[in-house]
Amino acid sequence: MSLYEDLTFRGLVNQVTDEEGLKKAIENDSITLYCGFDPTGDSLHIGHLLTILTMRRFQLNGHRPLALVGGATGLIGDPSGKNVERSLNEQNVVEEWSEKIKGQLSRFLDFDGENGAKMVNNYDWIGSMSVVDFLRDTGKHFGINYMLAKDSVESRISSGISYTEFSYMILQSLDFYHLFQREGCRLQIGGSDQWGNITAGLELIRKHRENPEETDVEQEAFGMTIPLVTKSDGTKFGKTAGGAVWLDPEKTSPYEFYQFLLNTDDRDVITFLKYFTFLTKEEIAELEGEVEERPHERKAQRKLAEEVTSFIHGDEKLAQAQKITDVLFGGGDLKQLSAEEVLQGFKDVPSYHCEAEEIGLVDLLVQAGISSSKRQAREDIQNGAIYINGERCQDTGKVVEQAERLDDRFIVLRRGKKKYYLITF
């Protein structure tokens, strides 16, 4: 398949300003494209992954991606998809977040070779611009009625929108024009909520092209949006009870990341395989058959989790996530886990720090809040409800010794089938 056919097969084409023109451009030439990422936090999350992977697909087909970090627009706030005003962050905070996001993006694109990616920050051309220059050179090209008609603005009229966020569209348009002029960038991609901002950028380019003194780039520019990812139950993709699923392993461990994908609903897994993996049409069709005929084996979910976790965190962290999964859910030996793996696997379970070198199991159960009293602790042990590092213990006189610790630091207690507790020493 051609690149555009592949994007269509995967459901990645939501809106295009000139479909035939874009097809012709990417099939007959190597083009430069960009996508922007505003630093509204210190990490990208899994919701950003679709645009990152789409940039990667373009690059693998010979095109040159620009990853734009919004050091300037991140100080303003995008009203798109928001029903209230964003809180403004201090410049030093945005600068710190910008650097972290640049570091993440640099892992997912190839920066070498003829079509090597390039990282850009719009603070470099917006930060030093005077208000007068901004209003005279860029603001004059935008009519108020044109801006009010954009969904990102129109949806906020009743609830209120500041001039700061109202002007965001103009700043993003300036990004597209700047990259068009300086980098020969002909395509901007983004989520479907960015359609208004993208088309505004194309309008600014068109107006500058009407004056040959303002631009010497003769080629056409295009805009394309990608669907916002939602699950079949109507909820937003990438949200869990614990919050967002982050690409930063310090915020969402590789094991948590792997588990999130492994638990994908049967109704969503084929769509997500198309979205988030580089598997071929034939490979995805085979996995679709597995979902229909043997859904209990969850082969498609495992493949999704393997492919995406490997892409984001690498093969070593994938193997680690699989090992933890096997130990916790496949009957593996807890003693096989390293300290890092224990901390990943039991990150969200109740924990208790014990100062004693050795301690009676009954006392430990009470001190850690696992059993309500010594009497209850003895009953739990006698009834076979207590497990030490995966092994049942029914000895009420048991002393938990130093030699039993995992990696000399941890004891994992379990009460019943699912209630885990992490004891640290």
Residue 82 and residue 193 in contact, taking contact as beta carbons nearer than 8 Å: no
Positions of E strands within 3-63? 15-16, 32-37
Contact 301, 262 (CB under 8 A): yes
Is the sign of the CA dihedral 13, 72, 167, 237 positive or negative?
positive
Binding residue per annotation — 382?
A: no
* Residue 210: Cβ within 10 Å count: 9
Active site residues: 40, 45, 48, 82, 86, 172, 193, 236, 239-240
Which amino acid appears at position 311 of this protein?
Answer: F
Q: Is 34 annotated as a binding residue?
A: yes
CA distances to 100, 106, 320 from 314, rounded to whole Å, are 18, 14, 10
The string of DSSP codes covering 168-181 is: HHHHHHHHHHHHHH
Which residue, 152, 130, 149, is CA-closest to 85? 152
231 assigned binding-site residue: no
> What is the residue-wise DSSP string for 286-349?
HHHHHHHH-GGG-HHHHHHHHHHHHHHH-HHHHHHHHHHHHHHHS---GGG--HHHHHHHTTTS
Query: Angle, to 10 degrees, between the axis of helix 315-329 and the axis of helix 254-262?
Result: 70
172 carries a ligand binding annotation = yes
**Binding-site residues, please?**
34, 168, 172, 239
**Binding-site residues for ATP, please?**
239
**Binding-site residues for L-tyrosine, please?**
34, 168, 172
